[in-house]
Amino acid sequence: MPVPPRTLLSSTDLHGVRWLRSSYSTGANNCVETARPATGPGAGLLAVRDSKAPSGPALLISPGSWTKFVAALR
């Protein structure tokens, strides 16, 4: 089975996803957004993008890695 890409050049390559922003975000649009693609190159992974560049690149990481990352920030 091929390994999925870990970075997409454009988050618009993820079709039909709902991008979510943290409730802690301010109106200044300085945050990240996450989505959980159900199909396509990111299926089963968590997509992360910069809210200031919604058509820019997206990182694809495992949900477990994201949980560990967020826990390390606290």
Angstrom distances, CA of residue 12 to CA of 9, 15, 35, 61, 64: 9, 7, 12, 17, 24
**Mean pLDDT (whole number) for 53-70:** 88
Q: What is the pLDDT of residues 5-40, one digit of tens each?
A: 577 778 888 888 999 987 777 777 678 899 999 888
Give the span between the Cα atoms of 61 and 46, in whole angstroms.
5
User: Cβ distance 8 to 35 under 8 Å?
Assistant: no
- Cα separation, 56 vs 42, whole angstroms: 15
> Per the structure block, which two tokens stand in for 29?
């649009």
1 — pLDDT class (breaks 50, 70, 90) = very low
pTM: 0.79
Percent of the chain with pLDDT over 90: 16
